[in-house]
Structure 1
Amino acid sequence: MIGVDLHMHSNFSDGELSPVELIELAREKQLLTLALTDHDTIDGNVLAAQHAALHGIQFIQGVEISSFWHRPSIKKTHAVHIVALNMQNLEPMQQLLLKQKQLRAKRALLICEKLQQILKTDFLPEIRELVDGHDERITRSHIAKVLLKRNVVTRAQQAFDRFLKEGKAAYVPFLGVEMVDAIAIIHQSQGFAVLAHPTKYDLSATNIRYMIEQFAAAGGDAIELPPANTPLSTRQMLDRMVEQHQLKVSIGSDFHGAHMPWLSLGHVPKLKDGQQGIWEFFEL
């Protein structure tokens, strides 16, 4: 048992558990090292760090940054998430996250406006209840929960399929920081830049390889390994890219809560022989 999980979410973004509850679950799962990586916020990290210390769990400063990059095959931008880990100087990151939060709040309101036009109902008050009035914490998952509660859809995924995903009527793109700039700011914060879940972006194998190539060229430090149930050919491709670009690897469950039971806290993939875990290089 490796006891490391470097990707998880609390209710400071789109997770179900509070930072304290998350640490309690991590203790039950016998985790030794973890990072809280909420979307574009480190607001939950202080609570998580304090509670982790009480239980002898090594806490790593983390955040998942929403960024974008340019696909080579068609003229469009594509969302990509960069996880920042083990930041030692938070000031540069806090400046970026302030801008990201403002963009997140604006995007959430635009989505709600579109839904109101389509469905003739204002869902915003109920959505705000889920995030204690913090518009910058609203994600599409929160919106999907309310649509499910109001019987607009029969399951949360249907909300994405009908309204919220790219190409649907209520979709609003999130154009935050560019990937290369996110990596630079992570390094200014004396942290490590990790390409999160590289196989989850609905990209062809060719474009995944191109994305990793661009990530490495921009100074990215590590790739997050895919779940254990990933097709062998996909895992082998990523392993080759790690070796080719001399990248380190990271592991994380991307745990959100009971509403995503397929993502279990502490359930992380195994490293291939010769791969270096990014946590081995942390300054603690």
Structure 2
Amino acid sequence: MQGVDLHTHSNISDGTLSPAELVRAANQLGIHTLALTDHDTMDGLNLAEQAATDFNMEIISGVEISSQWSRPATKKSYGVHIVALNMQNPAPLQALLRLQKQIRAGRARQICDLLIPLIGQDIYADVIAKVDNVPDRVTRTHIAKTLVEKGFVSRPQQAFDKYIKEGKKAYVKFEGPSLADTIDVIHQSGGFAVLAHPTRYDLSATNIRYLIEIFAEAGGDAVELPPAIEPLSTRQMVDRMIVAFHLKVSVGSDFHGDNMPWIKLGNIPRVKEGQVGIWESFISRSQQ
């Protein structure tokens, strides 16, 4: 679906463009329907909507929620992201997001505390300065960039690999709500639940298929299609699961600006014949 991007980030979370800058960039690319889906916050929505009044652009309310999925067979818990779209009554979701913000702020402090014996310095003040001293906006990307600026690593990915990814000494798990509870709250808010980037959770093919199955059984509405750069076999696997569980599809670039420069705004995968876009449930007819 050209002209639609339902997964983007601004500097309200871990993107580099402001909501207004994001809207302007989207307009220049011919995007007419945009969802701002920052991590665990909808604080940028009004700014995006205000900017969009200058253009013929529809802003879809959105947020990317950090949830947890546990597979009983392995007893291991995985962090899984659910994109919520087009909330009609956001009050239930906003209550959840307030808790998410508390968790995010606490995790930022914990990670910085764990880094002190590793690097010999407390970088917390520098980290929160990156988010206008609002701790609940901090993501690991902000911490990684601070480590680069301080000279402890040469690039953000090295910060993850050395200190803050799962299994490293300064890793702190994000203890979000369960997958099922997240979907329930989205539906209580009159929105649609989308499984974000299902092939990017470091899961085996078997576990990816099982995740999509559990997502569908929990009432999930759509699966985000993998980007075109992923192997054809990966896309085919996801397509088969979408058919098997009667799910709709979503398309989004997961744009982060300069924090992930290889991801381009509006660069979305092709929707195959027979697949039903979740956007058909809420985009105004004038934009379809």
Normalising by structure 2, report the TM-score: 0.97
Which stretches of structure 1, 4 residues or more, deviate above 2 A after TM superposition? none
Q: CA deviation at 1:73?
A: 4.0
Q: Which amino acid aligns with 2:41?
A: T
Is this contact kept in 2: 1:102–1:136, CA < 8 A? yes
Q: Which amino acid aligns with 1:216?
A: A
**Structure 1 counterpart of 2:166:** 166
Q: Secondary structure at the match of 1:59?
A: strand
**Structure 2 counterpart of 1:243:** 243
Q: CA deviation at 1:254?
A: 0.3
Distance 2:177 2:17 in 1: 27
Is this contact kept in 2: 1:195–1:224, CA < 8 A? yes
Q: Which amino acid aligns with 2:33?
A: T
Q: CA deviation at 1:270?
A: 0.5
Distance 2:131 2:261 in 1: 21
**Structure 1 counterpart of 2:130:** 130
Q: CA deviation at 1:195?
A: 0.0
Q: Secondary structure at the match of 2:258?
A: coil
**Structure 2 counterpart of 1:148:** 148
Is this contact kept in 2: 1:72–1:207, CA < 8 A? no
**Structure 2 counterpart of 1:91:** 91
The verdict on how the C-alpha distance between 1:205 and 1:191 changes in structure 2, with shifts beyond 3 A counting, is: same
1:7 aligns with 2:7: yes
Q: CA deviation at 1:283?
A: 6.5
Matched-pair identity in %: 60
Distance 2:81 2:237 in 1: 19
1:39 aligns with 2:21: no
Distance 1:265 1:160 in 2: 24
Normalising by structure 1, report the TM-score: 0.98
Distance 1:275 1:72 in 2: 31
1:108 aligns with 2:108: yes
Q: Which amino acid aligns with 2:54?
A: L
Q: Which amino acid aligns with 1:35?
A: A
The verdict on how the C-alpha distance between 1:237 and 1:72 changes in structure 2, with shifts beyond 3 A counting, is: farther
Q: Secondary structure at the match of 1:31?
A: coil
1:17 aligns with 2:24: no
Q: Secondary structure at the match of 1:219?
A: coil
1:67-111 residue CA offsets vs partner (Å, 9 max, x unmatched): 001124421110000000010001001100000000000111000
The verdict on how the C-alpha distance between 1:167 and 1:10 changes in structure 2, with shifts beyond 3 A counting, is: same
1:239-261 residue CA offsets vs partner (Å, 9 max, x unmatched): 00000000000000000012311
**Structure 2 counterpart of 1:259:** 259
**How do 1:133-282 residues align onto structure 2 when only pairs under 5 Å count?**
133-282=133-282
Distance 2:269 2:283 in 1: 23
Is this contact kept in 2: 1:5–1:35, CA < 8 A? yes
Distance 1:227 1:121 in 2: 39
Distance 2:153 2:76 in 1: 30
Q: Secondary structure at the match of 2:43?
A: coil
1:69 aligns with 2:69: yes
Is this contact kept in 2: 1:67–1:79, CA < 8 A? yes
1:97-140 residue CA offsets vs partner (Å, 9 max, x unmatched): 00000000011100000001221101011111100111000110
Name structure 1 gaps, 5 residues minimum: none
Q: Secondary structure at the match of 1:102?
A: helix
1:180-226 residue CA offsets vs partner (Å, 9 max, x unmatched): 00000000000000000000000000000000000000000000001
**How do 1:51-62 residues align onto structure 2 when only pairs under 5 Å count?**
51-62=51-62
Distance 2:12 2:70 in 1: 29
Distance 2:110 2:64 in 1: 22
Q: Secondary structure at the match of 1:7?
A: strand
CA RMSD of aligned residues (A): 1.0
Distance 1:136 1:259 in 2: 19
Is this contact kept in 1: 2:5–2:35, CA < 8 A? yes
